[in-house]
Amino acid sequence: MNLNAKIYVAGSRGLVGSAIVRRLKELGYTNILGKTSKELDLRNQAEVEIFFCNERPEYVFLAAAKVGGIWANNSFPAEFIYDNLIIGSNIIHCAHKYKVSKLLFLGSSCIYPKYAPQPLKEEYLLTGELEPTNEPYAIAKIAGIKLCQAYRRQYGDNFIAVMPTNLYGINDNFNLDTSHVLPALMRKFHEAKLSGTPSVNIWGSGKPRREFLFVDDLADACYFLMQYYDDGEIVNIGTGNDITIADLAAMMAEIIGFTGEIIYDTTKPDGTPIKRLDVSKINNLGWYARTPLRAGIERTYQWFSKEGLMASSRM
């Protein structure tokens, strides 16, 4: 991408989009388009059409999505499938119609079957049943992948799709009702430490294993693939390493300084037992994650304790 290229980052205020904007600015890109949801409703086909017609972006990072943890996915399945289907459809179609040079679609590791072999290879897509708690979201993301592949096959559009593992970092969602496990743990332990609460309750058994990627590493991978990858097959992005939720909680408590008891509520669902990506494809292309989990959590907590806490209080 030329440094003067017009680049649209859909979802530029979110966890992933804001990290991509940060990375692009670090690299010297200045012509970056970003709209808030109030300025541009990506679920509204007419608004998206007008935006693309007027702005004519050359490159698109499609990071906009409705996201959330187990509770949110279970509670609002209609919104998770509808919003994500329509956002992906509107942007991908307009990217084709207005001749975008290249588009990168952000999927999710939850697209893979619940009981697929580990680590998860790209070819496992659609080889088994999905995890029920996030099936609507996963189906919408799979539809986005297939849209990119269909436009590539029929029209030759250079649309690529990437599958990041579980993400965390600056500008994450710390709302306990809708957040993913890592930011939820961070807020719980932080508030328990401040209030002197003797224990923290965590959903599930603590046994499931998860892989976590610092979002700035994801942004770097997305830029790398936008520069050097032009194939229609999906690409996993992750660290290749996982950790149990119990070990993650212990690490989080130590970083934050919480010394109380950690209680696991086994009446709540665990979700997929283990989820770790096979990242050999992107590693073979020349990209590797650089931020160790502990270092990434420490950087995130430093930001959260100063700025993120204020933002989360409004959620």
Taking a C-beta distance cutoff of 8 angstroms, is the pair 217, 260 a contact? no
Q: Is 79 left (phi over 0), alpha (psi -120 to 50) or beta?
A: alpha
Task: Give the integer Cα–Cα distance in Å for 295 and 301.
Answer: 10
Burial (CB count within 10 angstroms: exposed 0-12, middle 13-18, buried 19+), residue 189: buried
Q: Residue with structure tokens 């989009």?
A: 17
Q: Which of 59, 137, 168, 229 is catalytic?
A: 137
Taking a C-beta distance cutoff of 8 angstroms, is the pair 128, 255 a contact? no
Q: Where are the alpha helices (DSSP H) in 212-303?
A: 215-228, 245-256, 280-285, 293-303
Task: Give the integer Cα–Cα distance in Å for 219 and 202.
Answer: 29
CA-nearest of 286, 291, 51 to 170 is 291
| Phi and psi torsions of 100, nearest 5° | -65, 135
The tokens of 307 are what?
């700025």
* Whether 112 is catalytic: no
Beta-strand runs (E) in the chain: 7-10, 32-33, 59-62, 102-106, 159-164, 166-168, 199-203, 209-210, 212-214, 235-237, 243-244, 261-265, 274-275
Name the DSSP class of 156. Answer: -
Please give the positions annotated as active site: 137
